Amino acid sequence: MKKQTFLLGFSIILFFFSLTITKAQSPEQNLEKLGIALPKVSPPVANYVNAVRVGNLLYLAGKGPSKPDGSYITGKLGKDLSIEQGYEAAKLVAIAHISVLKAELGDLKKVKRIVKVLGMVNCLDTFADQPKVINGYSDMMVAIFGEKGKHARSAVGMYALPMNIAVEVEVIVEIED
C-alpha cells in the first residue's frame, strides 16, 4: 500500500514535470523575456508590399537594420563598422522581419519554419566575415522561434545597399495551415 502511494505520488510529479518541459515558450514570450518591443512595421519604400503569401509560404520583402527611432544603421563592414556592430545590425533586421510576421499573422505561433534566408552585407571587398555578421539575424530567429527558427542560408557581400544600410536580408517563411 505504501509502495503504491509512493508510485502514485512519483507519477504525479513526473506528469507535472513533463508538462513543464513540453510547455514551450511562445515566440511572443521569448521576445518579452529578451526585452524586445516589436517596432511598427515600416512601409515599403516603393510600389511593392511587405509580404506575399502563396499557399503556406510567406515571402517577405528585404528589410534593413532600422533603429527604434526609425533611422537605419548605415555604413560598410570592414571600414565603418566592426563585426560586432554588423552582428547587432543583423539582429535589428531580424526584429524588423518578426514585426512584419506579427502584423501579417497576428500570432507568431503560426510560424511553422523560417525556411530560407539571403543575408546581404554592405562591405569592402577585403571583408570575408559575412557569416559572422548574418549570425546576428540567424541567432535572433533561433532565440525567438527555437528549432523552427533554423533555416537554410546564404551570406554574401554587397557593393552597395539602399540608403547605404549595413545589412539587408530577405526571407521565406512557412506558415501553419
Number of other CB atoms surrounding residue 139 within 10 Å: 15
Instruction: Report angle CA 164, 169, 171 to the nearest 5 degrees.
Output: 160
Q: How far apart are CA 177 and CA 167, in angstroms?
A: 31
Q: How would you label 50-62 residue by residue, b for 16+ Cβ within 10 Å and e otherwise?
A: bbeeeeeebbbbb
Nearer to a second copy, 108 or 168 (CB): 168
Shortest gap between Cβ of 118 and a second copy (angstroms)?
7
Q: Least separation, in Å, of the C-beta of 132 and a second copy? A: 7
DSSP state of 35: T
**Nearest-approach distance from CB 88 to a second copy, in angstroms:** 15
Nearer to a second copy, 28 or 170 (CB): 170
Closer Cβ to a second copy, 39 or 131, answer by number: 131
Residues that bind a second copy (CB under 8 A): 44-52, 54-57, 59-62, 76, 113, 115-118, 120-121, 123-132, 134-135, 138-139, 142, 150-164, 168, 170, 172, 174
Least CB distance from residue 57 to a second copy, whole Å? 7
Output 9 or 44, the one with its CB closest to a second copy. 44
4's grid cell: 503504491
Provide φ and ψ at 83, rounded to 5°: -55, -40
